[in-house]
Amino acid sequence: MATNPYQPKHHCPRPPALTRREMQVLVLLAEDCDVRTTARNLNITVNTYRGYVKSILSKLDSCTQLQAVASARKLQLLA
């Protein structure tokens, strides 16, 4: 049976602990904001922003930003 790389590897019963900044980035990801604009609004570099996104993807066991947002909504991290 082939596994889908875009499916979460497991279901977390408890939401992962995201930092305050990761939550700010996640909210802006959900709003589909432009990377450069988001980084500028958060007073961080684009590379730093990308680092936060990678951390969020890892913590939410996601392969894509869209999947991370969907997982966050399912875990009620986002309204």
Pick the residue with more confidence: 10 or 49? Answer: 49
Q: pLDDT tens digits for 7-38?
A: 555 555 577 899 999 999 999 999 998 999 99
For the chain, state the CA radius of gyration. 13
Q: Can you give the pTM of this predicted structure?
A: 0.79
Indicate the average pLDDT of the chain: 88
> Which parts of the chain fold into alpha helices (H)?
20-30, 35-41, 46-59, 65-74
- Residue 79, pLDDT score: 78
